[in-house]
Amino acid sequence: MRLKYGDLIIIAVILLAAILMIIPKKSNGEQVILTCDGEEIAVFDLNKNTEYTFHGSYENKLIIENGYAFISESDCPDKVCVRSKKISKSGETICCLPNKMMLTVVSIKIKTDVISK
Partner 1 sequence: MTEKIAKCGVFAAIAIVISSLERLIPLQAVVPLPGIKLGLSNCVILFVLIQFGFLSALSVLLIKCTVTSVLFSGISSLVFSLSGGFLALCGMYLLLQFKKLFSVYGISVCGAALHNIGQVAAAAVMLGSIYIFEYLPVMLFISIITGMITGGISDIIGRRLKGYRG
Per CB under 8 A, 72 contacts partner 1: no
Per CB under 8 A, 43 contacts partner 1: no
Per CB under 8 A, 6 contacts partner 1: yes
Q: What is the DSSP letter of 28?
A: B
Name which of 39 and 49 has its Cβ closer to partner 1: 39
Residues 6+ apart with CB under 8 A from 83: none
Per CB under 8 A, 34 contacts partner 1: no
From the list 29, 62, 64, 92, which residue makes contact with partner 1 (rule: CB under 8 A)?
A: 92
CA neighbor of 34 nearest in space, from 67, 61, 65, 74 = 61
Least distance to partner 1, CB of residue 66, Å: 21
Phi and psi of 15, rounded to 5°? Answer: -60, -45
- Estimate to the nearest angstrom the gap between the alpha carbon of 72 and the chain centroid: 15
> Max alpha carbon distance in the chain (Å)?
57
List of residues contacting partner 1 (CB under 8 A):
1-11, 14-15, 17-19, 21-22, 35, 37-39, 77-78, 80, 83-85, 91-93, 95, 97-98, 100, 102, 104
